[in-house]
Amino acid sequence: MKITIAGGSGFIGTALSSLLVQNNHQVIILSRRGSRDYQASSTLKPNPFYLYWDGANIGDWVAAIHESDAVINLAGENIGGKNILEVITKRWTPQFKEALRKSRISSGKALSEAIEQSPTKPQVFIQASAVGYYGSHPHREMDEDTAPGDDFLAKLCVEWENSTAELDQMGIRRVITRIAGVVMALNGGSLPFILLPYRFFLGGPLGNGKQWVSWIHLQDLIRAMVFLLETPQAKGPFNLCAPQPVTSQELSKVIGRVMRKPSFFPTPEIFFRSIFGEKADLLLSSQKQVPKKLLELGFEYQYPTAESALMNLLS
């Protein structure tokens, strides 16, 4: 297949494109650092091929959309931060919130417009979203039928998903991936930040420790995306999370056991609120997310438990 990925140079997109290339797919990544020289109907080298786009407007990149069997939209400003320093220092100011919103809505609209103008349509479109769609709840189990929340992240995710909703009317199989809050990897995401106190023997649960943590190993995440790409009956929203959610208290015990470090130093909620402000919701929200539809389709996890995922990464 020829697959175009918007936002394919980010943390998840880099891993996903690598797996797709391994599976003998031709991958085109839309990136601000990409080439403006695209030869339609040619064998592109290197693979993946980076093609320029600005994330918001129609341009020469539409030639790639015209030839694509599938399009994946991962584009959007990083919510937490691109590294530990940004996680700590970058607050959710009104200006940054608008940048988060605009980067998601504009890219979705641009891709939809390009597909609408295309003489040949892709067979499938994968639209990224996040567990933030559901808001926070101390006990409620969140499957794909759960209604959206009403906080900033929930409203952002609803708009994000709706930015490409018109594709449903074009007969394109559209899959929405509501990605877990903690994507377990050591080269990106929130896990390196979570592990940092343990490296200094100060690890422990976040807040009161009772909140549910939605998580998934990066390898299971990209395998699930490829699975949905290649499964014709997959359509609509899917929770991309591990089948066994854990509380912050349980996760801290697993991390301590795997790292052989103390795990009984809780970090009070007031500490996160004072440093991060509203962004603390990324770490303190309670989201018992379950992958109901993914399991019904028969997807098999390599790392179904937090312990198996952390053993793979830290051993």
pTM as predicted? 0.93
pLDDT on residue 22: 95
SS3 (DSSP) at 239: strand
Give the CATH number of the domain where residue 300 resides: 3.40.50.720
Structural domain of 15? 2-314
| Domain total of the chain | 1
Tokens encoding 211:
């909140």
Instruction: Mention every residue, 6+ apart, whose C-beta is less than 8 A from residue 66.
Output: 40, 118, 119, 120
Tokens encoding 154:
């929930």
212-213 and 246-247 strand pairing: antiparallel
Task: Specify burial of residue 20 (Cβ count, 10 A radius: 0-12, 13-18, 19+).
Answer: buried
In angstroms, the CA 66 to CA 147 distance is 35
Ordered per-residue pLDDT tens for the chain, 315 residues: 999 999 999 999 999 999 999 999 999 999 887 776 666 555 667 789 999 999 999 998 999 999 999 999 999 988 876 666 666 667 788 898 999 999 999 999 999 999 999 999 999 999 999 999 999 999 999 999 999 999 999 999 999 999 999 999 999 999 999 999 999 999 988 899 899 999 999 999 988 899 999 999 999 999 999 999 999 999 999 999 999 999 999 999 999 999 999 999 988 888 878 777 887 888 889 999 999 999 999 999 999 999 999 999 998
In angstroms, the CA 227 to CA 121 distance is 21
